[in-house]
Chain A
Amino acid sequence: MNGAGGVILTSVLLFAFALALYATRLETRDLTREEMEIASAASALAANDLRDADGRFMPLFVRSASGNGLPPLPVYAAAVSQRVWWMSPTRIRWVAALTGAVNLVLLYILARRVFDSAALAAVASILLLLTPAYVTYSRSVTQDGVWQLPFVTAWLIGFAAFAERSTAPRHWQLAAAVAALGAAIYSAPSAAIMVVILLALTAWIGWRFGIRRNAFLWAGVALFLTLSPAFVWLLRHPAMYADTFGSWLVHPAHIRNPIDWLTTLTNWESLTVIVDVFWDFFSPSHLFVNDQSPGMAGVFLLPMIVPMIVGARETLRAKPGGAGRRVVLVIALYGFVLAGLIGATFKEPRAIQRALVVAIFGALLATRGFESLSDSKTFGARLMVTVLFAAALVQFFAWYSHAMLAANPT
Chain B
Amino acid sequence: MAGIVVFTSMLYLKDLGRAPVYLGWDEARTAMQGYSLATTGRDMTGHPAPLFFHITDPLLPNHESVTWWQPLLFYLTAAVLRVAPLAMWSVRLPNVALAVLNVWLAYAVARRLFANSWYAVLAALMLALTPAHFFFARLAQDYFLPQTFALLWLWCLLRYLQSDNAWLAAAAGFILGAGLYTHISSWIVMPFYLAVTNVVFWFSGKPRRANVALCLGFGAALLPMAAWLPYHPSLLQDMFTNYNVATTLKLSERLNLYWEYFNPSYLFFSGGADLMWATRFAGVFLLAIAVLLPCGIWAIRQRQFSIPHALLFVGFFFAPVPIVATLPDAPEYATARDLLVIPFGVLISVAGVQFLLSNRRPLGRVLVALLLVSIPVEFASFARDYFGGYQLRSAFRHDFLNVRGVVESVIATDTATPVPAVYLSDDLSAGKVVQWQFHLTTHKRPDLWDRTRYFSIAEFKPTDIPSGSLLVLNIKDRRLTDLVGPDRCSVVQIVDDVTGTPAAAVLRRN
Contact = CB atoms under 8 A, between A and B. Distances in A.
Do A and B form a real pair? yes
A287 B262 CA distance: 16
B320 to A, nearest CB: 13
Contacts of B268: 275
A280 B252 CA distance: 13
Interface of A: 268, 271-273, 275-276, 279-280, 282-286, 289-292, 296
A268 B251 contact: no
B187 interface: no
B253 interface: yes
A298 to B, nearest CB: 8
B251 A291 contact: yes
Contacts of B263: 275-276, 279-280
A223 B228 CA distance: 77
B269 A284 contact: no
Interface in B258-277: 259-260, 262-266, 268-270
A272 B269 contact: yes
**Which of A272, A280, A282, A286 has the most C-beta atoms of chain B within 10 angstroms of its own C-beta?**
A272
B264 A292 contact: no
9 contacts: A275-B265, A276-B270, A279-B259, A279-B260, A279-B264, A284-B256, A285-B253, A291-B252, A292-B252
Interface in B267-302: 268-270, 280-281
A380 to B, nearest CB: 23
A289 B252 contact: yes
Nearest to A268: B281
B171 to A, nearest CB: 39
A273 B265 CA distance: 7
Contact of B260 (A268, A273, A280, A292): A280
Interface of B, helix, strand, loop or mixed by DSSP: helix
Interface in B210-263: 250-253, 255-256, 259-260, 262-263
A287 B54 CA distance: 44
Contacts of B264: 275, 279
Interface of B: 250-253, 255-256, 259-260, 262-266, 268-270, 280-281
Given A283-B260, A289-B251, A296-B252, 6 more contacts: A271-B269, A275-B263, A276-B270, A285-B256, A290-B252, A296-B251
B237 to A, nearest CB: 29
B270 A283 contact: no
B265 A283 contact: no
B259 A284 contact: yes
A296 B265 CA distance: 27
A234 to B, nearest CB: 35
B286 to A, nearest CB: 13
A290 B255 CA distance: 10
Contacts of A273: 265
Contacts of B259: 279-280, 282-285
What 3 A-B pairs are tightest by C-beta distance, nearest first? A276-B265, A285-B256, A291-B252
Contacts of B280: 272
A284 B256 CA distance: 6
Contacts of A268: 269, 281
A280 B261 CA distance: 11
Nearest to A279: B263
**Which of B270, B280, B281 has the most C-beta atoms of chain A within 10 angstroms of its own C-beta?**
B270
**Which of B250, B253, B265, B280 has the most C-beta atoms of chain A within 10 angstroms of its own C-beta?**
B265
B256 A275 contact: no
Given A283-B259, A283-B260, A284-B256, A291 B266 contact: no
Contacts of B281: 268
B229 to A, nearest CB: 37
Given A268-B281, A279-B265, A289 B270 contact: no
A163 to B, nearest CB: 27
B299 to A, nearest CB: 15
A285 B252 contact: yes
B270 A272 contact: yes
A291 B250 contact: yes
Contacts of A283: 255-256, 259-260
B253 A291 contact: yes
Nearest to A290: B252
A272 B266 CA distance: 8
A308 to B, nearest CB: 15
B252 A275 contact: no
A280 B250 CA distance: 18
A294 to B, nearest CB: 13
A280 B264 CA distance: 10
Given A289-B251, A291-B250, A276 B256 contact: no
Nearest to A274: B265
A289 B263 CA distance: 18
A296 B263 CA distance: 23
Contacts of B260: 279-280, 283
Contact of A289 (B255, B262, B266, B269): B255
Contacts of A282: 259
A282 B269 CA distance: 18
Nearest to B264: A275
B84 to A, nearest CB: 39
A276 B268 CA distance: 11
Contacts of B262: 279
A285 B264 CA distance: 17
**Which of A273, A283, A290, A292 has the most C-beta atoms of chain B within 10 angstroms of its own C-beta?**
A283
B378 to A, nearest CB: 11
Given A268-B281, A280-B260, A283-B260, A275 B269 contact: yes
**Which of B251, B266, B280 has the most C-beta atoms of chain A within 10 angstroms of its own C-beta?**
B251
Contacts of B252: 285, 289-292, 296
Nearest to A272: B269
A258 B268 CA distance: 26
Contacts of A284: 255-256, 259
B388 to A, nearest CB: 16
Nearest to B263: A279
B357 to A, nearest CB: 24
A290 B250 CA distance: 10
